[in-house]
Amino acid sequence: MEQALLKINHLHKTYGDQVILKDFNLEVNKGEVVVIIGPSGCGKSTLLRCINALEDIQGGEVLLDNEPVRKENKNISKMRQKIGMVFQSYDLFPHKTILENILLAPIKVQKRNRSEAEQEALELLKKVGLADRRDDYPRQLSGGQKQRVAIVRALCMHPEILLLDEITAALDPEMVREVLEVVLSLARAGSTMLIVTHEMAFAKAIADRILFLDNGEIVEESNQPKDFFKQPVTDRAKAFLKTFDYE
């Protein structure tokens, strides 16, 4: 059987006395695209933040390539480099150019050779249609363009898995598509991704597997996304999908 790239075993996460994730288990194989959907506050972002140890956890473990990802571990910086993360807000440095934003971590953290990293950054920028913006500053770019830069910045670190948390949530509708196209092409090229999204059509198109979360638990899981969206099994998933009917 194929060895899972990411394994989450019995993860337990609380904030104070509020339980956010209870006995959460998940395996993601290399090349797999797993999409997580669910109501606001059900724990999607918390889950992604636990995966790269941005949160303290109260039980269980996260393994990448069978190695624990834990805040306390000496190798946590190395482990985090294997986990690319893109959020709703792109967090580019305003006083650095697009190219410098992308090169910062590869050069400073990974100690890569500048010209080699630069060549890769430029190739990636070209792939997302932004080669000519390398010397611009973030304020000169649209939201969709900045988000594409944020994706390139994550890719330039050569992550083994990409975690995407509602990366189009802050964008105007006409910019959503250009960002989702980039993510779709990554999926087709075999990237392993864990995606949180409220874009149901996108989820249906890109997912190898859908997880529907509610109250920190996987309520429904399907490796037939089209069937899931057409005919969810649980009442909770049915009720959730109904809220998108106006679209």
Which of these ranges, 43-51, 103-111, 198-206, 229-237, lies near Mg ion under the rule CB under 5 A? 43-51
Q: Give helix 114-127 / helix 143-155 axis angle, nearest 10°.
A: 140
Nearest to 11 by CA among 163, 219, 218: 218
- With respect to ligand ATP, which residue has the nearer C-beta, 41 or 129? 41
20 binds ligand ATP (CB under 6 A): yes
Strands 59-64 and 67-68: what pairing?
Answer: antiparallel
Enumerate the β-bridge partners of residue 190. none
Nearest to 151 by CA among 198, 118, 209, 193: 193
Helix (H, G, I), strand (E, B) or coil at 143: helix
Provide CB contacts within 8 A for 174, sequence distance 6+: 144
Among 3, 23, 25, 41, binds ligand ATP (CB under 6 A): 41
Which of these ranges, 42-50, 137-145, 151-159, 179-187, lies near ligand ATP under the rule CB under 6 A? 42-50
42 binds ligand ATP (CB under 6 A): yes
Which of these ranges, 43-51, 63-71, 104-112, 139-147, lies near ligand ATP under the rule CB under 6 A? 43-51
56 binds ligand ATP (CB under 6 A): no
Angle, vertex CA 44, rays to CA 206 and CA 192, nearest 5: 40
Among 46, 52, 101, 147, binds ligand ATP (CB under 6 A): 46
Which of these ranges, 36-44, 111-119, 172-180, 228-236, lies near ligand ATP under the rule CB under 6 A? 36-44
58 binds ligand ATP (CB under 6 A): no
Answer positive or negative: Cα dihedral of 128, 133, 136, 139: negative
15 binding partner (options ligand ATP, Mg ion, none; Cβ < 5 to 8 Å by kind): ligand ATP
CB 5 within 8 A of CB 160: yes
45 binds Mg ion (CB under 5 A): yes
45 binds ligand ATP (CB under 6 A): yes
Q: What is the closest distance, in whole angstroms, from the C-beta atom of residue 193 to Mg ion in the complex?
A: 16
